[in-house]
Amino acid sequence: MNRVRQRVAVRLLSSATHHPSSPASGSGSGSGLGCRYGSAAAVGGAANMQMERAQSLLEQSVAFQLSLSSEPKPRAGKRVRVAVGVSGGVDSSVSAFLLKSMGYDVTGVFMRNWDATDERGESVCSYTRDRADAKAVCAQLGIPFEEVDFVKDYWNLVFEEFITDLENGLTPNPDILCNSQIKFKRFADYCISKFGVDFVSTGHYAQLRPSAWGAREVLLYRAADMNKDQSYFLCDVDQRALQKTLFPVGCFSSKQHVKDLAQMLHFPFVAEKKESMGICFVGKRPFSEFIRPYLRTTVPGNVVDIDSNKILESHENASAFTLGQRAGVGGAKDRVFVVKKQDATGTIFVGVGRNHPALFTNSLVAARFHWISSLRPEREVAEYQVRYRQPPGTCSIVLHDPNSQAPTVTAMFDKPQRAATRGQWLALYSPDGVCYGGGKITAVGPSLHDLGQSSPADYFL
């Protein structure tokens, strides 16, 4: 079977399909999919090993996840069908290649979630470029390219809650809600219904594996590349959806190997693309400028030094301030950071230094905690994350209504946690990287400043 996969991969790498080197720019010349690679070794060293490992794990995942389905299995000789959410980025492009190299029947589906023009008619997202790149990748791979519009669903199910949370003084994370409500619910259901696929795949850096305890369910693991791990953003996705999901690049030990493979596939227009950072719909504008027209209410107030209680200046909108971020305060002699928000009065407290004791807490509360599987923390101890790319910490937990399907969880950290913020999410993990699930943070314990304590000397952000 490995040799069959290698032959398919080499055939894809060797095909000479013409493509523009930069679809969005309209450049006319290109070198095609390959330089006539003569052997599988031409895929190249480490990238080749990563590709083979990904193919092997995909084969195992597909076999196990098909066994979980109550629907009829693909008949002998009939190919597994997969819809890939192609975004025009390197990760989804390589995912589509890997699935095609397995001999699967692959369809690329480009999803639009946001109206790409702002109120001035200017483009704020890279929608046009991303769509062109995604379409070019599908053409090179010889797979169908489809489009679907979820702008209205995104507005109703993600953006409205995002605005409401901001108005209530929270710092929301729209990516987690987008994954649980759009990508792995409405988008996945649409692809399964419309195209009759067995699986939906994305370029997320995460891994799915069978339960080691014999349960008929999948477990969500951290990605092999911890620096790119995106399991935190998937902590609210339900089990039913994950059983129909594939993450082909989650087992790659380095994103560089993914980029190397994209270069060998002659996808420079995605391999060399800068990674998108932040919230797409904000664009290049300051967040405060973007959000102002959407807020139904704003809370003005004062910016106050938390140590001296001195008013430094006034502001127009408390929602524009995020705990832990540097505050540009006129007249401040030192670099000051937002350390506390008083929602009722709109008062924003700032303190000198990014590790001010008012930023640290020993505990928080997360409501409506979502369990991904039947696996639970042993002895009420777990690893945790409260933000993307945060090094795992350890906490003890208390379930206030353990028999509930969505309990309230109190987490007490082994070490004080910086800038834990209401509206963000607490994700819990096992020591070997299984994501138990997550819940939205609704309350944060007293700060070290409130307790009269200093910041931890060994804290590094």
By annotation, the residues acting in catalysis are 178, 280
DSSP 159-176: IHHHHHHHHTT----HHH
- Please tell me what DSSP assigns to residue 325: S
**Collapsed DSSP state (helix, strand, coil) of residue 368:** strand
Q: Which of 92, 136, 138, 388 is nearest to 248 (CA)?
A: 92
Q: Which residues contact 336 (CB under 8 A, 6 or more apart)?
A: 305, 326, 327, 329, 350, 351, 352
Q: Which of 359, 235, 264 is nearest to 307 (CA)?
A: 359
Q: Which two tokens stand for residue 460?
A: 């590094």
CB–CB of 382/430 below 8 Å?
yes
Q: Which of 347, 311, 304 is nearest to 169 (CA)?
A: 347
**Collapsed DSSP state (helix, strand, coil) of residue 290:** helix
Q: Which two tokens stand for residue 166?
A: 């901001």
Q: Exposure pattern of 186-207 as b/e (b: 16+ CB <10 Å)?
A: bbbebbbeebebbbbbbbbbbb
Residue 316 sits at the vertex; the CA angle it makes with 295 and 340, to the nearest 5 degrees, is 95
Euclidean distance between CA atoms 337 and 48, whole angstroms: 46
CB–CB of 347/301 below 8 Å?
yes
Euclidean distance between CA atoms 398 and 381, whole angstroms: 9
In the numeric block, the tokens 């933000």 are attached to 387
Euclidean distance between CA atoms 259 and 27, whole angstroms: 21
- Please tell me what DSSP assigns to residue 225: S
Euclidean distance between CA atoms 445 and 426, whole angstroms: 14
In the numeric block, the tokens 């190397």 are attached to 260
Q: Which of 11, 14, 197 is nearest to 104 (CA)?
A: 197
> Exposed (0-12), middle (13-18) or buried (19+): which is 118, by Cβ within 10 Å?
middle
